[in-house]
Structure 1
Amino acid sequence: MCADRPKHPILKASFVERANSTSHPLSNYLLRLMELKQSNLCLSADVTSARELLHLVDKVGPSIVILKTHYDTLAGWDYDPQTGTGAKLGSLARKHGFLIFEDRKFGDIGHTVQMQYTAGSARIVDWAHIVNANMIPGKATVQALAEAATKWRSRVNYEVKTSISVGIPVSNVFDEEDETESNEASEHLIMGDMLTLGPYSRDNDGRKGSIVSVTTVTQSFEPVDSPRFGSQIDEGDELLHTKFEEPPSERGLLILAQMAGTGNFMSEEYTQACIETAREHKSFVMGFVSHESLNSAPADSFIHMTPGCQLPPEGEEENETVEGDGLGQNYNTPTKLVGLCGTDIIMVGRDIIKAGDPQAEAARYRDGAWTAYQRRSNQ
């Protein structure tokens, strides 16, 4: 499970100390948030509907620092950028203090992953603080995602304001018929008819000429609050208000560097390529999804998140291993993952979701993982 790697000095540092030394704004925010909430728990929200997701997150939000989603598996996902499911998750994230991690596992040519990240109906970059990618296509995938995030970041603090002014010159003297025709012309303009530009006059035979209309369309970019889902979302009679510091607008990437599942093809050479790529893109890559700490060089300060965590029944939490699910998923306790393998955040799904009391079970996992971190860092 945990390779015989030299232990990096950063494992003894507190999350606050690591926050002060990291250059990635989102990593800095996350590490400080972890210390503030005394939590290093990520909820893998593998539910089947958007309604169930929002209900669950509002219940367990106080115990987590990251919410991991699979938007494309949820029935009833609302794609509206202002009031849809992503925006509502953003409000819950501010209410309870956590980041949103869309587990998209990008793995295609550069242009394709950019489109998957920033375009389409979901527009993942708008509502997910963190995404992940595998390195099977090579380093270009990470470079492409980084470029897309940078371009998005340069525009996210601005929104387009469009103003339309319509001018219809008025004659000095209007008889009743003149006024009627003027009103009709305005109605046509509103309906989208094109009016001929020309002087308001009468032809030689006495007939009236076309009404003159001038339509001016102007667009400007004006600052807006960051991030884009910063506006309040109306949940019935209650507005979800910000309780925690707003996260930075920067986006982050986790590289899928290791898997603990039986029979996976992520070799040591593959993992090393992931590490090299992360070092080359420190302004975008926050860390890894892995089953151990991959920090080895003196300047490494990457965050590590690990799935496959399971607590034994209450009273037996010190056991280091538990049985797998029979489907290739192996489980380990927070004591082993955080304390021995050096991971930072545990990812838990079914054990919390299927529990009789998800709130209480999330709190139990939070306490178990936090205790393991305190022992590791001698706090």
Structure 2
Amino acid sequence: MCAARDRHPTFKASFAERANNASHPLANYLLRLMELKKSNLCLSADVTNARELLALADRIGPSIVILKTHYDLVAGWDYNPQNGTGARLGAIARKHGFLIFEDRKFGDIGSTVQLQYTAGNARIIDWAHIVNVNMIPGKAAVTALQQAAARWRSRVNYEVRTSVSVGTPVSDSFDGEDDEQGTPAPTSLSAPKEPPPSSSARTDYNNGRKGSIVSITTLTQSFEPVDSPRFSNTIAEGDELVYAGIEEPPWERGLLILAQMSSEGNLMTNEYTQACVEAAREHKDFVMGFISQETLNTDPADTFISMTPGCQLPPEGDEEDGDVAGDGLGQQYNTPAKLVGLCGSDIIIVGRGILKAASPPQEAERYRRRAWKAYLNRIEQHA
């Protein structure tokens, strides 16, 4: 079925070994996350309302390393950048340890895809760690997305910490008068017990002495480096948990190139696929890998990750490598043993096989175990 690119070195290498050689920070993170969770499963969360999406992410999160979304088919998507649907997904992703992949399939001229990525109501770049591109417009689309991501990244290197203090000088001596010992009384800044006057200063007479009380407001700002996204100050308490054993994901964004499809009769030729590989090599600090049916690593220096849709398991109790029928709409299915074990794919993408199960969390675990077993067999390790 698949030649697995003549058994490229990445075919037998463990995810941990490949993490050490990954040129992309997010690819390094993902490979380490896969080893930590013993998962190479991506859930295609094709649901149609925001409440269901968030609940599904929370329920299936323990089994997956990537959640694939289509934000534009989700009714009730809250676009608030601080505490909307994207921010909520980010909190769930940190808690359970997975990345968010918006399956946008950008496919337009450079200036348009840049705006689709960074602007509009959705501002995909703010909440999606990974996006993908259809290379039909040519390599310029990849270049344009990388430029947009670089500009965005340069603006989020730092967060501004602002501190405001309000106080009233308290003194036993006013207008330069000394205390009884002939020394100036100390002045301290403290919050007044009573609300300050409406004006910044007032004149008062106390025991025949003229006093001036001034309310002082001090504002300080500092710029602190930020290595990873944080929403803990803008979401509900308790949602700021981080998955144990690994740090938060880096700020860098990643791109997958749509190089092959699982649908019957698709028009992606070998020449198109090769152009995708060339574009990835030219943008290795932005392109993490491919949506493909097999590993596309052929050059010794290739370290790309391959993610494959169209994966389905036979019903429980049937032969693990038995035939799986398509969906009647052009989708063709293969098992994890074939895609991971024979074709060298790294991550399987599963949607309806999990979503339509009687117990989606249990079925997600079944897919996770089978895909991980196929990976261990591929690198000749045993569970």
Q: Same fold (TM over 0.5)?
A: yes
Contact 1:320 1:335 in 2 (8 A): no
| 1:45-78 Cα distance to aligned partner (Å, 9 max, x none) | 0001110001011111000000000011101111
1:265-280 alignment runs, 5 A limit: 265-280=267-282
2:153 alignment counterpart: 153
2:342 maps to what in 1?
Answer: 340
Q: 1:223 to 1:184 in 2, by over 3 A?
A: closer
Q: Compared with structure 1, are the counterparts of its residues 15 and 184 closer, same or farther at alpha carbon in structure 2 (3 Å cutoff)?
A: closer
Q: Which residue of 2 aligns with 1:113?
A: 113
Q: Is it true that 1:51 corresponds to 2:37 in the alignment?
A: no
Structure 1 range deviating more: 323-332 or 6-15: 6-15
1 CA distance for matches of 2:38 and 2:302? Answer: 23
Would you say the 8 A contact 2:42–2:350 is kept in 1?
yes
> By how many angstroms is 1:225 displaced?
4.2
Correspondences of 1:1-40 after superposition (within 5 Å)? 2=2, 5-40=5-40
How far apart in 1 are the matches of 2:121 and 2:235?
Answer: 22
Find out whether 1:358 has 2:360 as its counterpart.
Answer: yes
Aligned to 1:242: 242
SS of 2:289's partner is strand
Shift of 1:229: 4.0
Q: For residues 163 and 30 of structure 1, do their structure 2 counterparts lie closer, same or farther at Cα, with a shift above 3 Å needed?
A: closer
Task: Report the Cα offset of residue 243 of structure 1.
Answer: 2.3
CA drift of 1:276 comes to 0.4
For 1:14 and 1:59, the matched residues in 2 are separated by 28
2:315 aligned partner: 313
Evaluate the alpha carbon distance shift between residue 375 and residue 183 of structure 1 in structure 2; reply closer, same or farther with a 3 A threshold. Answer: closer
Give CA-to-partner distance per residue, 1:162-185, whole Å, 9 cap, x none: 8999xxxxxx9xxxxxxxxx9699
Give the TM-score normalised by structure 2: 0.82
5+ unaligned residues in a row in structure 1: which ranges? 166-171, 173-181, 186-217
Give the match for residue 203 of structure 1: none
Counterpart for residue 296 of structure 1: 298
SS of match in other structure, 1:6: helix
Q: Is the 8 A contact 1:311 1:317 kept in 2?
A: no
- Structure 1 residue 129 corresponds to structure 2 residue 134: no
From the superposition, tell whether residues 320 and 149 of structure 1 become closer, same or farther in structure 2 (CA, over 3 Å): farther
Using the TM superposition, give the Cα deviation of residue 2 of structure 1 relative to its aligned residue in structure 2, in angstroms.
3.0
8 Å CA contact 1:232, 1:241 repeated in 2: no
Q: Which amino acid aligns with 2:232?
A: S
Percent identity over the alignment? 68
Q: In structure 1, what is the equivalent of residue 172 of structure 2?
A: none
- Which amino acid counterpart does residue 262 of structure 1 have in structure 2? E
What's the C-alpha RMSD, in Å, of the aligned pairs?
2.5
**What's the CA shift string for 1:215-256, capped at 9, x where partnerless?**
xxx996723644334425645x74441124211111100000
Cα deviation, residue 301, structure 1:
0.9
Give the Cα separation in 2 of the matches to 1:240 and 1:302.
31
| 1:314-371 per-position Cα deviation (integer Å, ceiling 9, x unaligned) | 1225225300000000000000000011100000011111111111000000000000
d(CA) in 1 for partners of 2:322, 2:13: 23
Counterpart mapping for 1:110-259 below 5 A:
110-159=110-159, 222-223=223-224, 225-231=226-232, 234-235=235-236, 238-244=238-244, 245-259=247-261
Task: Classify the secondary structure of the residue corresponding to 1:342.
Answer: coil
| 1:233–1:97 CA distance, 2 compared to 1 (3 A) | farther
Helix, strand or coil for the counterpart of 2:307?
A: strand
SS of equivalent residue, structure 2 residue 6: coil
Q: Name the one with the larger helix percent.
A: 1
When normalised by structure 1's length, the TM-score is 0.82
**Which amino acid is 1:36 matched to?**
L
Whichever residue aligns with residue 123 of structure 2, its letter is R
State the alpha-carbon separation in 2 of the partners of residues 229 and 251 from structure 1: 15
Paired residues of 1:91 and 1:232 also in contact (CA < 8 A): no
Q: Per-residue CA shift, 1:256-290, capped at 9, x if unaligned?
A: 00012111110000000000000000000000000
One-letter amino acid of the counterpart of residue 228, structure 1: P
CA distance, structure 1, for counterparts of residue 377 and residue 136 of structure 2: 36
